Amino acid sequence: MIIDNIKNASKYFGLGKGFEAALTYLASYDGKADEKADIPVCEGVMVKCRPYMTKPVEECAFEAHAKYADIHFVVSGCECIGYAPTDSLRVVRMDEAKDMIYLEGQGTDIPLNAGDFMITLPDDAHMPCIKQSESVFCAKLVAKILL
């Protein structure tokens, strides 16, 4: 897992061409991200626009992916994303067609504010959408990078 601000995006281009393409797109994004959309960036990279109201941790769930890395980028608002290594959690269900692994257990809540991003890899379980102190509207882009 990597957490940083989008102004430092170029520091992570060395992770690969897909990461460079996704981070370049996110760093230059000037939209509102307040409507759900899927945006193809290049082969193997898709950006999903996901606006929502943050919610209590009890209403959120851990997930992980086997084939994709995620870059969660907060455009506006704020949220916490729960984090735990996948091997410290219990697998509840797998959906191979959607590359989704659903998990249960305890993790650490990490706050992200506008301009922040988090990169998660297959060993990184993450629980998005958690409210910080109160529920707020969070406009977020999630880049999906085929590994």
One-letter amino acid for residue 135 of the chain: S
User: Which pLDDT band, with edges at 50, 70 and 90, does 32 fall under?
Assistant: confident
Contact yes or no for 71/30 (Cβ under 8 A): no
- Provide the 3-class DSSP secondary structure of residue 78: strand
β partners of residue 132: none
pLDDT tens for each residue of 107-146: 999 999 999 999 999 999 999 999 999 999 999 999 999 9
User: Which tens digit of pLDDT belongs to each residue from 44-98?
Assistant: 999 999 999 999 999 999 999 999 999 999 999 999 999 999 999 999 999 999 9
Q: Which two tokens mark 73?
A: 């980028």
CATH number reported for the structural domain that contains residue 127 in this entry: 2.60.120.370
Distances from the Cα of 6 to the Cα of 16, 23, 55, 143, angstroms? 17, 8, 24, 13
Cα gap 115→26, rounded to integer Å: 10
Boundaries of domain holding 68 = 2-146
The verdict on pTM exceeding 0.85 is: yes
Total domains, the chain: 1
